[in-house]
Structure 1
Amino acid sequence: MKPRWKGKGSEAKAMADPMSMIVSQLQSFLIQSETRGLLSSCSVLVEVDAELADLLNRACFGRPRITAEKDKQWFQLDMEEAFYLCFSLKCLKVVGEDGCIKSNEELWGHWKSKKVVFPVSFKAYSHLRHKNWIVRSGLQYGVDFVAYRHHPALVHSEYAVLAVSEGNNDQNGRLRGWSDVHCTVRLCGSVAKTLLIVIVNNNSQCAISPSCLEHYTVEERTITRWNPEQSREDQEILENRAK
């Protein structure tokens, strides 16, 4: 499936402003400004100024959050987004309710307690982000994530992503039967997305700390509906023979 760009010139804009450069700019800004986020259960809140808000929006991290404080602007980061900035890019510090900066190990344990499959979902998220895909929540499509080639304002998402553990023994128990696969693929097809299964193998490493992630391996599989028309003889050849 080819990328579906939104409007004339969108592809050129994306090529002129690669996502890797945008994320690098965001990383540098966060490090220089020593930005800190506030831990809030399953997310992190970051107070932003106009420049940081623009960078977060361009890099597609978090979403603006409307509050009663008109003199302040906030962005809300999902747990995978926040941990990617903290652990992978090392450019964000997160403060807990006690006012102390949380270590990566503390954040890892906290989010594992909120989401049992966090190690698998984060590995899948970081795997795609490292490849410069934009990764957003796929809740509205019944999947973990959706992946964009560039900013969602320029292109439609290409992949609906499910993150599963090796052998599909994850706690969500998805895709265990043919009916699950069929329903998911039909849904993805109806919204013009390819189903991407990101299979995470922990290689028998206990997920007691984020250091285990370096031992995890990832396998990608795409699943699409079989189109009988693609298996038939070339229609053009048949028409020429008929003449």
Structure 2
Amino acid sequence: MRPRWKGKGAEAKALADPMSEIVSQLQSSLLQSNACALLSGCSVLLAVETEQTELLTRACFDNFVKNDVDLWLYMKLKKEKFPDFYKAYSHLRMKNWVLRPGLQYDVDFVAYRHHPSMVHSEYVVIVLSEEGDAGRLRVWSDFHCTIRLCGSVAKTLLMLNVDKNGHGAISPSCLERYSVEECTITRWSPEQSRNDQKTSENGVN
């Protein structure tokens, strides 16, 4: 079956600039530039140069993000609480901590104070916002289960409460006005407490 061309001249244009050639040029350009991309759900965020932007547009690979505001709006569209999560993420990155997704432990992040190749993650991180987080840590049993999990994998629960201080989330500049409050929660162990007390007494004697 022959293609059903849309409009006069469409066939000539397609044959003069075939899709296979465009994709080949794009692949070659991306390889040469060592391009990196961020996977976001079913979408890929790719940082490209002018030539690659043109090739992507010609190849019909979605729309390109023009600036940081466009990227901000795109991420908010993908994840409603992206501003809170990004503020929490950047807060810990400012400490030079390494963060990775915490899906394995049903939390937002796991955090490393040293290189992940050298140590296991020390913290499981939960991000809370002033809008409330329905279904998360609503009752004491939720805390208890999470803390027990942390104890079983030798990690500390770190809760980050993001306060917008009355500011919205219109643009990335709003992040500068947000504040983050840290709270670490650990499980109290009577046996460990007794051992610590004995060690302290022996040290005094």
Same fold, TM exceeding 0.5?
yes
1:145-175 Cα deviation digits (max 9, x unpaired): 0001222211110000001113xx4344411
Aligned to 1:170: 132
Partner SS state of residue 180, structure 2: strand
Question: Aligned match of 2:94 in 123, 130, 141?
Answer: 130
Alignment of 1:94-105 (within 5 A): 97-98=61-62, 100-105=64-69
Which residue number corresponds to residue 125 of structure 2?
161
Q: Is the 8 A contact 1:105 1:209 kept in 2?
A: yes
Further displaced range: 135-144 or 107-116? 107-116
Alignment of 1:65-80 (within 5 A): none
SS at match of 1:111: helix
Query: Given residue 109 of structure 1, which amino acid in structure 2 is its aligned partner?
Result: L
SS at match of 1:161: strand
1:113 maps to: 77
Give the Cα separation in 1 of the matches to 2:153 and 2:200.
Answer: 32
Normalising to structure 1: TM-score of the pair? 0.57
- Give the partner amino acid of 2:93: R
**Conserved? CA contact 1:42–1:114, under 8 Å:** no
* C-alpha spacing 1:128/1:173, structure 2 compared with 1 (3 Å): same
Say whether residues 1:204 and 2:174 are aligned partners: no
- Give the structure 2 partner of residue 86 of structure 1: none
Aligned equivalents of 2:200, 2:163: Cα separation in 1: 46
| Matched residue type, 1:135 | L
SS in 2 for 1:222: strand
| Corresponding letter in the other structure for 1:44 | V
**Match for 1:207: what amino acid?**
A
Q: 2:157: which partner in 1?
A: 195
Q: In 2, are the aligned partners of 1:117 and 1:171 still within 8 Å (CA)? A: no
- Map of 1:44 onto structure 2: 44
Between 1 and 2, higher relative CO (CA 8 Å, sep ≥ 6) is seen in: 1
SS of structure 1 residue aligned to 2:162 = strand
SS at match of 2:107: coil
The question of whether the paired residues in 2 share the 8 Å contact of 1:117 and 1:170 is answered with no
Larger radius of gyration: 2
Q: Is the 8 A contact 1:37 1:93 kept in 2?
A: no
Deviations 1:74-107 (A, max 9, x none): xxxxxxxxxxxxxxxxxx5696844534321112
The alpha-carbon deviation at position 40 of structure 1 amounts to: 5.8
For 1:223, give the aligned amino acid. Answer: I
1:228 aligns to what? 190
User: Aligned partners of 2:126 and 2:185: how far apart in 1?
Assistant: 11
Structure 2 residue matching 1:187: 3-state secondary structure: helix
Equivalent runs, 1:9-24 vs 2, <5 Å: none
The TM-score normalised by the length of structure 2 is 0.67
Do the aligned residues in 1 keep the contact of 2:128 with 2:160 (CA within 8 Å)?
yes
AA paired with 2:122? Answer: E
- Long gaps (5+) in structure 2: 1-32
What amino acid maps onto 1:149 in structure 2?
Answer: R
Amino acid at match of 2:198: Q
